[in-house]
Amino acid sequence: MPIAFIVGIGCFDYWFRWASGAPTVPEDHSGHGAKTWRDYFKVNTDHKVIGIQYIVTTFIFFILGGLMAMVIRAELAQPGTQFVDPNTYNGLFSVHASLMIFLFIIPVFAGIANYVIPLMIGAPDMAFPRLNALSFWMLPTAGVMMVASFFAEGGAFATGWTAYAPISTETP
């Protein structure tokens, strides 16, 4: 993952140049876009590439959330503990819920919008293409951190589907 871009250095250099009084160069939209399939794994400011990156990444998280749902349903197939202990079950339930909402449902619409809206209005690209790319690269970072919560001390957050009290206030 492009760490410097995620930190914001690559995203805001146009603004830093403008704020410091240095000459700014308008973004050239003629040379960006995906030439090969490897370009979809790099930082790119083309709205179509970012839209496809969003959609593919969200479907990867959808599959991961679906696998969590399968484990949840397998645990509920019979009374008692089958596969996972109660704390891991609560963690699976919570991470599944958050993953499906925040890493699939919401970003898949962002991906579709990134791809389609500039084409619909006849624009060459989004208004802030670097900020657009930064917003995408935060998505896989957040997803990895959410899934990595299973490996943290104490396990994943176990607040249930809605994270309402009393479950969310009583978990350690």
CA 122: distance to chain centroid? 27
More confidently predicted of 5 and 120: 120
User: What interhelical angle do 129-148 and 106-121 show, nearest 10?
Assistant: 170
Angle at 140 between CA 136 and CA 144, to 5 degrees: 160
Predicted confidence band at 51 (pLDDT cuts at 50, 70, 90)?
very high
Measured CA to CA, the distance from residue 120 to residue 143 in angstroms comes to 30
Predicted confidence band at 125 (pLDDT cuts at 50, 70, 90)?
confident
Measured CA to CA, the distance from residue 51 to residue 31 in angstroms comes to 17
User: According to the model, what pLDDT value does residue 101 have?
Assistant: 92
Q: Where are the alpha helices (DSSP H) in 21-161?
A: 47-75, 86-100, 106-121, 129-148
pLDDT at residue 126 is higher than 60: yes
Look up residue 3 and give its two tokens.
Answer: 């760490």
- Percentage of the chain modeled with pLDDT above 90: 31
